[in-house]
Structure 1
C-alpha cells in the first residue's frame, strides 16, 4: 500500500448512509480518500478490502493514512454482531491506526447512548450515558476506544436525507399505523440533515487547529424540531398521512405492541441536545432546519417509501 500521501483519509462505511455523504464531501475538497469496504463501490474511490468483524483483515490498511474517519456501525444487528463489529472491530481499527501513526481519528456515534429519559438541551458532559440496546451499548464502547486514542466522537440523534432508512421511514410508519400524533406531537427532537452532518465530520477531520482531541461533540441543528412540525412537513410532501389527533404513550403501545415502546419514547418525549461546542469549533454551518431542508429529499423518500418499509 505504498505511495499514498500522508493526507489520505481512511473512511469506513463509505458506501453507507452517512459515510457516502462524507465521502462525497471529502472528495469535493480534493482530499484523497481510501474506503474500507467488503466490496468495490461504483466510483473511482480507492477501496481496500477489510472486515471490522475480522481484525486480521485490517492489518496494513492505515499505512500512509493521516486521518481515520469511522462511520461504519451495525445498527439493527443482534447482540453478537454488534459487539463483533461496533466494539471489537472499532478497537482493532483504532489499534491499527495507532500502529500506523494516524494523526487524527473521528468516529460518528449516536446520542442514543444516553438511553432512556427526557433530554432537554443537555451538554456533552451533563448526563452519564446509559445505553439500553446492543447497538448503543456497543457503540459507547467503540467511543471509549476512540477517545482513549485521542480521537473525536460526534453524537447525532436523528439524521435525515437521501439514504435514510431509519428516521423518516419510521416516523411515517408510526403515523400510518396510529393515525395520530404520539403525545400530540409536542416532543422536541434533535435533527440534522445528512449533508450538514457530513460537512461537520469533514470539518472536524480536516481542521488544523488543536482542541478536539479526546472530545465528544453533539451533532445536531442548534434549534430542535417538534414532532408536530416533522409530521406537518411529511404530510405536505405526501410522505405520511396528515393527522391532527394526539395519542398517549400507553394507548400507542397498545396499538403497536410492546416492541415499539422504545421508538415511541424517543419520538414522544423531548430528546434534544446542546450542539454549541461543535458549531463553535468548525467553519461550516448547520444550514436551515427540517422544514426548509426536508423537501429537498422528498423525491428520494417517495421512491424509498414506495418500495420498502422501515425495519422493526
Structure 2
C-alpha cells in the first residue's frame, strides 16, 4: 500500500517567506496554504513583526528575525528548500534603504547559502528602471536607472540574488486588498485636484495581488521554473489604458470622471501644492506610459491571467472604500 503523499513529492519542500506578513508576502502565504490540489508546503514566515516567535497557525511557523540584525538570522534557513524574499523598505531614509534592501538581502542570502537552499525567488520592483516613458520592453531590452534610494538599494539586492542563481520578479503597480499606495494615491490626487492632464491617457502595467501570488506560488511548486538566474516582469500581459482605470474609480468608488482639460504643467503644479510629498517620479508613473512585456513570467509559471481588470478591481471595493481619502 502506498504511503501518504509528502510535501517533497509535490515538489514544494520547505518554503521560507521573508516578509510573509506584508502586502505581497501575506498574499503568497495565503495562496500556498490554500493550494489543496498541490498540497500545502511546510511553510515558514520570517518577519520582524506579526505572530510571536515560534508560533504556529494554519500550519505556518512564524519566525521572528530582523534583516538589519544579521545575528537574528542565524539558522532561519536550515532545512529550507525555497526562499522567497518579499521584504523591503520603500521609504526615503537612505541608510535604512541600504540596511534592509541591500545589506539585509546579503545577510539572508548568506544564511541561505550556508543552509544549502536550492531555490531563491525575490520580489523587487519595476521602479528600478526609473522614470519612463517605457513602452513594451522585454526584460533584456531595458536598462535599470533607479532614481530613489529605495530603488537603487533594491537593485543592489537584486544583483546579489541573481549572483546566487535566484530569480527576480519586477512588478510595476500592484492593486488588491492591502494596497495602501497605488489606488489610495490616485484617489487622493483626484479628490484634491478633480481633473486630469489633457491628452494624458497612458498605458500602464498592473497586476492584481491575487494574480501575482498565484504566479509566485507556481514558481515555488515548480523546481525547474524557479531556477535562475532570471528576471521576470510581473504584470498582466495586457497593458491597461489609464482611461479604464479612471472609469473604474468612478464606477466602483464613486469618484467623478475628470474632464481632462487642464495642461500637464498646470496639473503637476496643482498636485505639487496639495500633495508636496509626491515626487516627480511617482507622478510620472501614473501620467506617462509605463508598461512592460510580461509574457515570460506567465509562460514560465504556467498560469493564465485572472478576470479582466474591472472585475478584479470591483472585488476590492470594500477594502478601498475603507481607506482614508
TM over 0.5: yes
Match of 2:3 in 1: none
Match of 2:44 in 1: 34
Match of 2:159 in 1: 144
Match of 1:18 in 2: 24
- 2:247 is the counterpart of 1:232: yes
CA–CA distance in structure 2, aligned partners of residues 78 and 240 of structure 1: 33
SS in structure 1 at match of 2:45? strand
SS in structure 2 at match of 1:286? coil
What does 1:32-71 align with in structure 2 at a 5 Å threshold?
A: 32-41=42-51, 43-44=57-58, 45-71=60-86
- 2:194 is the counterpart of 1:188: no
Moved more, 17-26 or 171-180: 171-180
Moved more, 76-85 or 104-113: 76-85
Post-superposition Cα deviations, 1:184-235, rounded to whole Å, max 9, x if no partner, equal 4410000000000001111112213257410000000011112211010011
Moved more, 236-245 or 194-203: 236-245
Match of 1:94 in 2: 109
Runs (5+) with no aligned partner, structure 2? 1-6
Maintained 8 Å contact 2:225/2:301: no
Match of 1:271 in 2: 290
1:77 is displaced (CA, Å) by 4.1
Distance 1:238 1:93, change over 3 A: same
Larger radius of gyration: 2
Post-superposition Cα deviations, 1:24-66, rounded to whole Å, max 9, x if no partner, equal 0111231121011123439442111100111111110000100
SS in structure 2 at match of 1:213? coil
Maintained 8 Å contact 2:176/2:208: yes
Post-superposition Cα deviations, 1:212-263, rounded to whole Å, max 9, x if no partner, equal 4100000000111122110100110125332222433321221122643222
Q: TM-score, normalised by structure 2?
A: 0.89
1:83 is displaced (CA, Å) by 0.6
SS in structure 2 at match of 1:254? helix
